[in-house]
């Protein structure tokens, strides 16, 4: 579990709930129809905007991004160096037998082993990266759109409440509580957008950037294995993708 995210969600909720408790009765902040308009309306409009499959994929991605460890680019560099060494000792054909979870790396190895040309490999892998980016963009977009729709439904709920209140002004003592209830949907909408949807969209975007770097390391590594197959040059090229501060020396990677 991502520790910063857990801390972020927990402290955010704590601060908001704390502020409500300090000011008085928390029941004033619970309004089931309001929650349904904002939550349900945002979800309904999101279903209208996207395909069912994309919305489902987005929620799954949001779950994984908080539960799964992110991959270290040093790891990807180390894998490419060991592939380089295998192919030097045992020939490029050996790469077709590599066992890996990554479909991308498997495809790269298969293409090298099949004797595909430099250009074919580069084009196929770039297409893979581009279509992954596009799919991830849609997943992020689901949350970004929810972050736009939820305050809009909050405002719609408040407008409904205001119109109802203003149409029946007979009891002035009811104006205050009625307005409080009307404002609640705006509160719900902003809270959902600011504390959940927008940060999750941001997190998914950041994770995509990291994943794409790993894939680019594998792409450049594969081309390099095909071209000259020298572990030192490979390391020099691939390590450029990693911040100098986080970069591991080659020795650590080869020694494995």
Report how far residue 210's alpha carbon sits from residue 80's, in angstroms, rounded to the nearest whole number. Answer: 17
Residue 222's nearest CA partner among 73, 111, 148 is 111
For 128, the token pair is: 């893979």
Residue 88 vs 107, nearer CB to a second copy = 107
Output the smallest distance, CB 58 to a second copy, in A: 13
Report how far residue 88's alpha carbon sits from residue 86's, in angstroms, rounded to the nearest whole number. Answer: 5
Output the smallest distance, CB 252 to a second copy, in A: 17
User: Residue 115 in contact with residue 98, Cβ under 8 Å?
Assistant: no
Residue 97 vs 137, nearer CB to a second copy = 137
User: Residue 125 in contact with residue 219, Cβ under 8 Å?
Assistant: yes
List own/partner pairs for 21-29 with CB under 8 A and 24 or more apart. 28/180, 29/184, 29/187
Residue 40 vs 91, nearer CB to a second copy = 40
Rounding to the nearest 10 degrees, give the CA dihedral for residues 48, 50, 51, 54: -140
Residue 10 vs 90, nearer CB to a second copy = 10
Output the smallest distance, CB 90 to a second copy, in A: 23
Output the smallest distance, CB 87 to a second copy, in A: 19
Output the smallest distance, CB 152 to a second copy, in A: 4
Residue 90 vs 175, nearer CB to a second copy = 175
User: Residue 34 in contact with residue 188, Cβ under 8 Å?
Assistant: yes
């Amino acid at each position: 579990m991502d520790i910063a995210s857990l801390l972020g969600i927990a402290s955010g909720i704590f601060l908001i709930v704390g502020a409500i408790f300090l000011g008085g009765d928390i029941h004033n902040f619970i309004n089931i129809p309001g929650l349904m308009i904002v939550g349900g309306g945002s979800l309904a409009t999101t279903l209208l905007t996207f395909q069912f499959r994309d919305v489902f994929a987005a929620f799954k991605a949001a779950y994984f991004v908080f539960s799964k460890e992110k991959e270290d680019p040093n790891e990807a560099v180390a894998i490419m160096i060991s592939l380089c060494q295998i192919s030097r000792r045992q020939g490029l054909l050996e790469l077709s037998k590599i066992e890996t979870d990554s479909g991308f790396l498997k495809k790269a190895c298969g293409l090298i082993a099949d004797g595909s040309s430099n250009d074919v490999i580069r084009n196929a892998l770039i297409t893979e990266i581009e279509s992954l980016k596009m799919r991830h963009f849609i997943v992020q977009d689901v949350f970004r759109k929810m972050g736009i729709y939820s305050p809009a439904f909050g405002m719609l709920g408040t407008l409904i409440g205001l119109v109802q209140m203003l149409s029946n002004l007979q009891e002035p003592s009811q104006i205050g509580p009625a307005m409080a209830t009307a404002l609640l949907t705006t509160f719900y909408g902003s809270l959902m957008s600011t504390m959940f949807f927008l940060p999750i969209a941001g997190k998914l975007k950041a994770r995509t950037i990291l994943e794409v770097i790993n894939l680019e390391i594998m792409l450049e590594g594969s081309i390099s294995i095909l071209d000259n197959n020298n572990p030192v040059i490979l390391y020099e090229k691939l390590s450029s993708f990693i911040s100098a501060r986080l970069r591991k020396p080659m020795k650590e990677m080869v020694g494995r």
